[in-house]
Amino acid sequence: MNKNIFAGFGLDFNPAPAPSTAKYTVNASAFKGISFFAKGSGTISVEIPTPKSDPALGCVNSTATPCYDVSTKVITLTSAWTQFNLTWANFAPNGFGHTNEILDGNGIGGIKFESKPTAPAAFVPYDMWIDDLKFIP
């Protein structure tokens, strides 16, 4: 059996106060997207969860409309700090569920950064750094 091997980090924009585990969304449609500096090795997926992709935000998983098809942009890292300016149009679902979702900044639940190998056999050590994350006005 293949194992799901990855590392990641991120933030929820509007979590409920503890002890609740509920999550909510924010409307960031007044912004064009996100900007950040990154460095490291390999590729990372920048993911923006929404109610159409994240069960914690309201997605109801079914065969016809599976959850977890998060709007994603894959970027390649280098050893030098590089600025990435990603507009909402740069993000697209992975293609196994809500492929019709068009991200516009409204109803987003957070930002996640994940490094995933293509197969367990391809797993090699990697390094990822993110700094100066902000919305693009």
Which phi and psi angles does 90 have, rounded to 5°?
A: -75, -15
pLDDT > 70: percent of the chain: 88
pLDDT tens-place string over residues 93-105:
877 765 677 899 9
CA distance 23 to 110: 10
Query: Residue 56: which pLDDT band, with cuts at 50, 70 and 90?
Result: confident
Closest CA to 51 of 101, 112, 90: 101
pLDDT of residue 82: 97
CA distance 31 to 89: 12
DSSP 12-61: ESEEPPTT---EE-EE-TTS-EEEEEEEESSEEEEEE--TTT-GGGT---
For the structural domain made of 7-136, what CATH number should be given?
2.60.120.430
Which residue bears the tokens 């890292």?
A: 77
Give yes or no for residue 3 having a pLDDT over 60. no
Tell me the whole-structure pTM to 2 decimals: 0.85
H-type alpha helices, 67-119: none
Q: Please, what's the b/e burial string for 68-93 (b: 16 or more CB within 10 A of its CB; e: otherwise)?
A: bbbbbbebebeeeeeebebebebbeb
pLDDT of residue 1: 45
